[in-house]
Amino acid sequence: MAAPVNIIVGSHIWVEDPALAWIDGEVFQLNGQEVHVQLTNGKRVVTNIAKVFPKDTEAPPGGVDDMTKLSYLHEPGVLQNLATRYELNEIYTYTGNILIAINPFQRLPHLYDTHMMEQYKGAAFGELSPHVFAVADVAYRAMMNEGKSNSILVSGESGAGKTETTKMLMRYLAYVGGRSGVEGSTVEQQVLESNPVLEAFGNAKTVRNNNSSRFGKFVEIQFDKSGRISGAAIRTYLLERSRVCQISNPERNYHCFYLLCAAPSEVRDKYKLGDPKSFHYLNQSNCYELDGVNDAHEYLATRRAMDIVGISEEEQEAIFRVVAAILHLGNVVFAKGKEIDSSVIKDEKSRFHLNTTAELLKCDAKSLEDALIQRVMVTPEEVITRTLDPDAALGSRDALAKTIYSRLFDWIVDKINISIGQDPNSLSIIGVLDIYGFESFKHNSFEQFCINFTNEKLQQHFNQHVFKMEQEEYTKEEINWSYIEFVDNQDVLDLIEKKPGGIIALLDEACMFPKSTHETFAQKLYQTFAKHKRFTKPKLSRTSFAISHYAGEVTYLADLFLDKNKDYVVAEHQGLLTASKCPFVAGLFPPLPEESSKSSKFSSIGSRFKLQLQSLMDTLNSTEPHYIRCVKPNNDLKPAIFENLNIIHQLRCGGVLEAIRISCAGYPTRRTFYEFLLRFGVLAPEVLEGNSEDKIACQMILDKMGLKGYQIGKTKVFLRAGQMAELDARRAEVLGKAAKKIQRQIRTYIARKDFISLRQAAIQLQSCWRGMLACKQYEQLRKQAAALKVQKHFRCYVAQTSYSTIRSSAITLQTGLRAMTACNEFRFRKQTKAAIIIQARFRCHRDYSYYKSLQKAALVSQCGWRRRVARRELRKLKMAARETGALKEAKDKLEKRVEELTWRLQLEKRLRVELEETKAQELAKLQDALHAMQIQVEEANARVIKEREAARKAIKEALPVIKETPVIVQDTEKISSLTAEMEILKKSLLSERQVAEISKKACLDAEARNSELTSKLEDAENKVDQLQDSVRRLEEKLSNIESENQVLRQQALTISPTGKRQPRATIFQRTPENGAVPNGETKIGSDTTLAVSTREPESEEKPQKSLNEKQQENQDLLIKCIAQDLGFSGGKPVAACVIYKCLLHWRSFEVERTSVFDRIIQTVASAIEVQDNNDVLAYWLSNASTLLLLLQHTLKASGAAGLTPQRRRSTSSSLFGRMSQGLRSSPQSAGLSFLNGRVLGRLDDLRQVEAKYPALLFKQQLTAFLEKIYGMIRDNLKKEISPVLGLCIQAPRTSRASLVKGRSQANAVAQQALIAHWQSIVKSLNNYLNIMKANFVPPFLVRKVFTQIFSFVNVQLFNSLLLRRECCSFSNGEYVKAGLGELEQWCCYATEEYAGSAWDELKHIRQAVGFLVIHQKPKKTLQEITNELCPVLSIQQLYRISTMYWDDKYGTHSVSSDVISSMRIMMTEDSNNAVSSSFLLDDDSSIPFSVDDISKSMQQVEIADIEPPPLIRENSGFAFLHQRTD
């Protein structure tokens, strides 16, 4: 980062600040090398020009997602970009292909759900917003495409989020490489579940992090050839063993100790555990619990994770027993013994913990005590046992605890690796490295030394990778470049690991000498590296040394280096635990080989760690690396706090600033030709006025500015450090001159405008004065004219008044005279009227008196006549009274009649009771018979064969005397009784369906007994029908034999002793009591006596095979016919109508077994095998929906009605059924035609059929095929428009070529190209609409298709808008809005009948685009946005759009900061209330309708007038298709 140039007055720059690291300001004065700056906080500072950096005032308000796009790639620019993005909850940022992840310290579940993983799957790197999933996907795609192993290195300090980032990486790799349908736990599940196990035993709370990994972890995920996870391995590095015994406040020990103390009470009692405060290894710190973490729940979760990774229940018990033993071991305390330098157990409490430890480890308590306080020294002469003082005994105790825990952790890692399994055939891996970051504390020991040594190694690898990427970028752009120097840290690595003479080598050497101490080791370091530039000695310390690492200088305390470096187990400890009776504990300490125990070869932690690290580096060097740098924004571990100094320190430690320095050593500023011309085209407008290529235009601008050392590649301009600032200074100068010119012009315009306004005011004043004079003259003339008019009107008034007086007097006189005449006339009329009234009253009185006299005379006459008639009637009554004997006789007759009726009623009741008793007896007999039949199964088989042979012989002998006796119905009660018995037998047979064979034999036996009684002929025939029902459920090979047996049995039962034959069957009409046919239709059932013809016996025994073959031929012809495209007739699919008519005519819906349904389904399945043929799919969609509609209105599930005598209809599939069906279709039985006499008309006329299981199954299969075909058409359309949708969401780059002259033509072409993408979508929609219209697909289904398609378009466009910042711009919103207009026009063209509510499905993208293109966004309130502009969008979605928005056309800003803050508060509340915070939409691929919806929405289908296809038109078997309605 070279010193900036071209700093002038008015320049915006960055200045160093001790509190904020960097602060921006404006230059207001320059004095040589001194710069006077006005800071944004109001202060003024003076600094050197070499210590300031230019600020990009045109940087996007939301920052850039890739910091290589920054105009000024320097430290303050990087810090400002990260701070801006972090404020918007954008925690991920790229620096080239390096991902920087800032810990948000809050849950952001919407960033890591399955839908988000689906979005990043297969997406190009950099196409979507920065994300950890993008890095994982790049590694996975590179492995699949190039076949090379990849690695992802996650680094950062404690609390930066390395562990969580690693989890997300492994989740994504498990998502893209997972396997489905694998029994048990898959590899990816075990790898993911190994995280909580390793965290429980390897993570602890530190000062900076509540879940800090105290070990390094490298996970190798192995993949097979198809990209599926086939194995995995976990490697761990340098577990911090000292933490087991020593912790500081406010840290915690490893999680497993606290989890075990919070386990259920029975577990704690078993291990004799209690409060963590009672254990020495835990109570050294006051922190026992973590905020938001329930240790009891975590214990159960850890146990579940152990189950998944393959640790058995016994092994889990052993593990936690060892953990409990370590806790108890820490409470063993020693006191001084009686002898010098000896020690003993301090008290009974320590003795209790010692015994408990021995009990848990299953070893001898005395041996454990001796191993802690004694040491055995073997000399050539003797074996010497010496005791340890209390301090040494405590050291021995802690050493044992650390050794046990270290071995336990290594065992868990090995167990996980064994359980997961490794794939030896795997050719490629993806390694995820979760390693500790650079550490520098107040006191740094051996662990920090090893950690920083690791980071030095990784930093060297990182620098080489960054340098390599720089070279690849230059090579890709084909520019001339020379070797770029960068600072290498090889000298630090040599200082640490070089042999001989490195720090690790000197440490091993010191550990080999018993008398070496940390002071002698430190002095050796001082002597050896006194002149080394990276090694320094602190002034006031004798055991400390400092190393200058790449991230800064770190001072180490050498006090415990020797103890922590020794990697050996005390022989007493080894022997004690090897002899443990617990196999698990003994397995942790296997006996050492004799040669190794005798060998004196020294082993150290440092050397072993160096070898592990070298192995890791070899693995990383053999893979393609990807880097994720995790950053902790603050030390308070709280969200929304961004501490600049802390971030800068971590960026230095993570090597990010070093990578930027390497970039600055070459060409730190890179701009595409379009971006360069857009920014610096004002420097040479004459270049842009022509139509030269962008590359030549950029070259001309740079040459004009006189810059040297730049490079122009194939697509970008590469500028040296400082050249961007120089160009910006020239640009600012040009813009300044332009601003002055604009100011001059505007001032001229304002002055001229003022002059014109004054001149117009003077003219207006003159006009007003002239107007006033004219008004005065006019007023004088007006007054003169008014005086003349007043005089005229006064004279007129005087004359009118005189005339009015004279006229009024004349009228008054005339009125008086006329009133006198009227009074006289009134008086005369009144007198005349009174006279008339008097006369009328008199005449009325006279006539009324005459009427009253006549009425009185009539009443007198009537009373006399009535008296006379009454006397005559009295005489007659007296004569009738003498005849009472006749009345008494009539009464006796009536009483006798009543008694007779009463007797008859009692008799009828008695008969009914007897009938019921008879029924019960018959039922009991039949049940007993069925029970006996089950016992005599084998005997019944033999009887069937004998009966068949006897029947044949009887027929041959009795041929001359065969006669069919008509059935005479004599006793109604008997017939009812037999009918009831028949129904009971049918119910019994249905209940015994699972033993059909036994029931059949039982029925044959019962029939053999009943055949001897001719009076029970109908009962026997009923049992034959039941036998036919059972036979149809037997194996196919027995059906023909049983049908023939029924024919012979019927012929044997119809023999008559008269010796004559009847020419045909006798048919009787059924009554409702004996099983009536609905609507009075006559029917020949299987219980009707079959006529035996007088022809030859060969003609009487029609073979069943011929009937089967005929039916099979008809089915074959139907299948062959519907396999063709039969087209449509009157908008109705011919195939569906023909299938329905045939199935209904053949009565296939009512049979228990048929193959025609399966053959139809297979035909449909074979027709839609070609999924891309939309014509065929639409054709069968129309047929399937129509046929399903017909079935929905025809079929009804058979319930209790299936047990009634109507069940006999199903016998049409047997021999008798087919023969009777032939009779129905014959001319002689015209009165019995059931189907031929019924013509199918409208859907309302379709009769309801009791469907059997095959028909109902066929309906379900047809429904499934309808849904499948619908889904195939919908998915085909999705596949067709998906590639175009990716082009529709963002306008092509060329469409924003420039706003200068000469570019309008290219802009118009690009805009036309964009509309062409939308028009291709419209073309696809039209194509599918025409196809479905041509195949008469129901409009209901068409609407559903396009509704889901528009919903898919809405989801894809909206999600792309939220995931790609370059799409959230003003101009892009205009382009998308224009494209949506094309879709709206298509909806109008398609009409509501076919488009339905499809346009409403685009509500999310419509409102989002509407928000992008509105003006004055900062003035909009949150209420206006949520209630008026975007009521459908959630707060998360609005926040995402608002923060990602940028105006590339007018340079306006997004909504105000207050609105952003309100949105953030609402999002926080939603997350606290467990509301889903995902801002992405999900595509609904379900079937959005049911069979009932189709039935309700489709119109009635007229199937009567469908013309049969040519293939079956002339076939006699399909003659029923030719019938028409009247």
Question: Which of 156, 177, 437, 666 is flagged as catalytic?
Answer: 437
Catalytic residue among 298, 439, 726, 1250: 439
Cα 795 to the center of its chain, rounded Å:
102
Tokens 């329905």 correspond to 1140
Q: Is 213 known to be catalytic?
A: yes
Could you give the residue ranges of the DSSP H alpha helices within 1011-1128? 1017-1031, 1036-1053, 1097-1100, 1104-1122
Q: Select from 1062, 1061, 1103, 1065 the least CA-distant residue to 959.
A: 1061
The active-site residue out of 209, 1335, 1354, 1443 is 209
Q: How far apart are CA 1337 and CA 1497, in angstroms?
A: 12
Whether 212 is catalytic is yes
The first and second tokens of residue 940, run together, are 């019944």
Known active-site residue 159:
yes
Place of tokens 């055939």: 425
Cα 1187 to Cα 1251, 1261, 1501: the distances in Å are 15, 12, 10
Q: Among this protein's residues, is 736 annotated catalytic?
A: no
Query: What phi and psi values does residue 204 have, to the nearest 5 degrees?
Result: -155, 165
Please state the length of the chain. Answer: 1526
SS3 975: helix
Contact (Cβ atoms closer than 8 angstroms) between residue 1292 and residue 674:
no
Dig out the tokens for 1415 from the structure: 């003006």
In the set 103, 149, 151, 158, the catalytic residue is 158
Beta bridge partners of 254: 204
Catalytic residue among 84, 212, 623, 1359: 212
On whether the CB atoms of residues 1405 and 1361 are closer than 8 A, the answer is yes
Tell me the one-letter amino acid at 1204.
T
- As a whole number of angstroms, the distance between CA 417 and CA 158 comes to 26
Distance between CA 1213 and CA 1221 in Å, rounded? Answer: 10
Whole-number Å distance between alpha carbons of 857 and 850: 11
Residue 156 · residue 654 · CB < 8 Å: yes
Strand partners, 153: 433, 627
**How far is it, in rounded angstroms, from Cα 1156 to Cα 1163?**
11
d(CA 307, CA 314): 11
Q: How far apart are CA 982 and CA 988, in angstroms?
A: 10
List the catalytic residue out of 71, 93, 149, 163.
163
Spatial neighbors of 1017 by CB under 8 A, at least 6 apart, are: 967, 1053
Q: Distances in Å between the alpha carbon of 1046 and those of 940, 1026, 1042, 1051?
A: 16, 11, 6, 9
Residues β-bridged to residue 99: 94, 628
DSSP element (H, E) containing 670: strand 669-672
Burial of residue 1432 (number of CB atoms within 10 Å: 0-12, 13-18, 19+): exposed
Q: How far from chain centre, in Å, is Cα 1459?
A: 30
Taking 3-state DSSP, the helix, strand and coil percentages for the chain, each rounded to the nearest 5, stand at 60, 10, 30
The encoded tokens of residue 29 equal 């004065």
Q: Which residues does 205 contact at the CB level (< 8 Å), separation at least 6?
A: 211, 212, 250, 251, 252, 287, 290
The answer to whether residues 229 and 178 touch, using CB atoms and an 8 Å cutoff, is yes
209 is catalytic: yes
Question: Of the residues 11, 129, 150, 213, which is catalytic?
Answer: 213
At position 1409, the amino acid (one-letter code) is V
Which of 159, 161, 713, 1075 is catalytic? The answer is: 159
Determine whether 158 is an active site residue: yes
Q: How far apart are CA 211 and CA 200, in angstroms?
A: 9
3-state DSSP of 849-867: HHHHHHHHHHHHHHHHHHH
Cα distance between residue 431 and residue 232, in whole Å: 9
Half-sphere exposure (CA, 13 Å, Cβ side) for 741?
6
Residue 902 structure tokens:
């009463």
Which residues are marked as active site? 158-159, 163, 209, 212-213, 437, 439
